Chains A and B, each alone.
Chain A
Amino acid sequence: MNDVLEFWGESLPTLLDGLRLSLEVTAACLALGVPLGLALALGVQSKRRIVRAVALAIVEIGRGAPALILLQFAYFGLPSAGLALSSFTSATLALAWTTGAYTSEIIRAGLDAVSFGQKEAAAAIGLSRLDAMRFVVLPQGLRVSLPPLFSFAILMLQASSLCFAIALPELVSQAYVIGSNSFRYMSIFVLAGLLYAVICIPASLAVSLLERRLARHTV
């Protein structure tokens, strides 16, 4: 037991470096992906067919293709078309695509949850469509979307583990390297798992709490 703890102690700094990178890539893909999701949520409801079609295509591919494939597409595929990106950039772009696709559905559901009466009232007092969206619908809709968006963010942190496959030195990669050098796979992956758990479990509980609090304040 002591032995394992010692091993963990030695490995921890390296794993923490990897964890930091995992968090960075997650933050980056969310920063790009969520605004993309909002744009797509509005895009799929656009009156112009071309906008609708393009938005729909982006969403369907982003949701239909496994994140791993999108990652490999960005990192291994693009160079053959002349665009060579670093593993961090590829990871960010690919995961932002996934994020945008899934969050567009979440945000759309949130916007739909805003009661029809609100939209009627906004129109009746003469607000333009844009103003109605900006001042009445979005503030309420995004609020509804908040808990599922946070849940999704937690999922994206887990998805960052896939970046192992595109040579990003995030948490799992670091663990794998230590494992293959020491052959103590079991211990190192248990530690890696615990590091994910230590972040994701409290985060999930916090989201449930948020959900309950928000439900209290709505009608």
Chain B
Amino acid sequence: MNADPLLEREGSRRKASETPLLRLEGVHKRYAEFEAVAGVDLQVKTGEVVAIIGPSGSGKSTLLRCINQLEPPTAGRVTVGDVSIDAEREPSRRELMQLRRSVGMVFQSFNLFPHLTVLRNISLAQERVMGRSRKQADEVSRQLLARVGLADKADQYPNRCSGGQQQRIAIARALALGPQLMLFDEPTSALDPELGLEVHAVIRELAANGMTMIVVTHEMHFAESVSERVIVMADGRIVEEGTSAQVMRDPTSERAKRFLRAVADR
């Protein structure tokens, strides 16, 4: 009954299945005059790890937020598993809740709740959204904390933890609802390089255990090593897509070439 969400996928081999877990069709996000996402089509298979890279303002973060409807798209369709949401109609509460349970998100600024203990941070949604009892929720939370190596921090407050620890706790919090898809929005941009390493380690472990993930990142090495597929976004569109080796070493589009060159020069 109480499956560890991380162990829901048996075995350590990545399992790719035929029907894509995530499908984005013609997704647009417009703010008054400005189109942050200008028509994106994307499919992600179960167990795949996709990295999205690109210059600032290219719409990468907005795209992630379109997936879990934090920013509802102004056009297009988002499908995650069984839930499909069209931009034209307002999703029902049930659909929205189902979507948010299948998709976990980790933010650049962690966004842990400072007034709650670490344990409570992870248990809150389990109690309120899944209806678990406090005992059940806390048990799962402790397991998750152990997985990210922070079992001893359970009763502390977030402000007593380092940035890297806070982000790992944030990952545990996102995993608590047993999502099928994990979104990472520049998970280590706000961290010192050293602290970033511990977060990367956790993300790699999730990947090795078969979690489907989309990682928006500025860290090129990490993007190349953790993902199977890399997408380059610029001006709200996908300008390059392929295996990580292909895209990073030998991009075909001008725009992608320009971006990767600029990054390499730094």
Contact = CB atoms under 8 A, between A and B. Distances in A.
* Contact flag (A, B; Cβ within 8 A): yes
Interface of A: 115, 117-118, 120-128, 131, 135-136, 139-140, 143, 217-219
Consensus secondary structure, chain B interface: mixed
Smallest CB-CB A-B distances: 9 pairs: A121-B111, A126-B100, A125-B125, A117-B111, A126-B129, A124-B105, A139-B115, A131-B128, A117-B109
B68 interface: yes
A124 B174 contact: yes
B100 A219 contact: no
B70 interface: yes
Contact of A140 (B114, B170, B176): B114
Contact of A125 (B115, B159, B174): B174
A120 B173 contact: no
Interface residues of B, number: 27
B3 to A, nearest CB: 18
A112 to B, nearest CB: 17
Interface of B: 68, 70, 93, 97, 100-101, 103-105, 107, 109, 111-116, 124-125, 128-129, 159, 170, 173-174, 176-177
8 contacts: A117-B111, A118-B111, A121-B111, A122-B113, A124-B103, A124-B107, A125-B129, A135-B124
Contacts, number: 62
Contact of B101 (A122, A126, A135, A136): A126
A72 B230 CA distance: 72
Most buried by B among A118, A120, A126, A131: A126
A118 B113 contact: yes
Contacts of A126: 97, 100-101, 125, 129, 177
B260 to A, nearest CB: 30
B107 A121 contact: yes
Contacts of B100: 123-126
Contacts of A128: 93, 97, 128
A120 B185 CA distance: 12
B114 A125 contact: no
